[in-house]
Amino acid sequence: MTDKSVRVMVVDDHPMWRDGVARDLADEGFEVVATADGVRAATERAAAAQPDVVLMDMNMPDGNGATATAAILEKCPDAHVLVLSASDERDDVLDAVKAGATGYLVKSAQRAELVAAVLATSNGQAVFTPGLAGLVLGEYRRIARDPGPSTPVLTERETQVLREVAKGLSSRQIANRLSISPRTVENHVGASLRKLQLANRVELTRYAIEHGLDTD
């Protein structure tokens, strides 16, 4: 029998849809640990609930699913995000994946498809509605052929902060080491993320390690 003891959070601004999906998943044996109706609520509740899988809508009153995905993965690096959206627009799909989403389903998916997708996502497997996987693969192939401009150069201070991030230090610890404020640390982290086109602190740490910045 398949183990369905997976902690799930459902993020959608439509109450009837959100509650219906949560109820369906609970009926299938999943543990629904939280629901949310927007980016801010999703980020706060995910940090508290630490779900294994987050079912994410793309359109919300205070932002979009890509923004919420990046914010949640910052707070819950072990979580996996599965987008469940009415939109199958190219930009929405690619934005979600670039923000760190593991998969993308459209809301026309059947209940059995959703159950299977949540299980697969909890194991880190990429799940896409037929046709969307090809879109994502095609985009990565395009990037491989034409990577675009060279990586932007970080400032000396940004590089210093990045070295400490790679060591797993918190913003407060980094601030104490470098004699700057935690807010300044976060500003440097944010600037580095934008320059390097990375989605979250986890990806930033991976980048730093891959480039040998985790050693003095």
| CATH number of residue 96's parent domain | 3.40.50.2300
User: Does any domain span residue 96?
Assistant: yes
Q: How far apart are alpha carbons 144 and 179 in whole angstroms? A: 40
Phi and psi torsions of 108, nearest 5°: -80, 0
On whether both 164 and 119 belong to a single domain, the answer is no
User: Could you give the 3-state DSSP secondary structure of residue 74?
Assistant: helix
User: Does any domain span residue 148?
Assistant: no
The answer to whether residues 84 and 57 touch, using CB atoms and an 8 Å cutoff, is yes
* Domain count across the chain: 2
On whether both 105 and 199 belong to a single domain, the answer is no
| pTM for this model (two decimals) | 0.66
Alpha-carbon torsion (170, 210, 65, 154), positive or negative: positive
CATH code, 189: 1.10.10.10
On whether both 11 and 108 belong to a single domain, the answer is yes
Residues 6 or more apart in contact with residue 86 via CB below 8 angstroms: 58, 59, 106, 107
User: Does any domain span residue 170?
Assistant: yes
Tokens of 47: 């940090």
pLDDT at site 1: 36
Residue numbers of the chain with a pLDDT score lower than 50? 1
pLDDT at site 139: 67
Residue 188 belongs to domain spanning? 156-210
pLDDT tens across 148-176, in order? 555 566 788 888 888 888 887 888 899 99
User: Does any domain span residue 147?
Assistant: no
The answer to whether residues 11 and 53 touch, using CB atoms and an 8 Å cutoff, is no
pLDDT at site 149: 54
Phi and psi torsions of 105, nearest 5°: -120, 145
pLDDT at site 104: 93
pLDDT at site 169: 83
pLDDT at site 25: 95
User: Does any domain span residue 123?
Assistant: yes
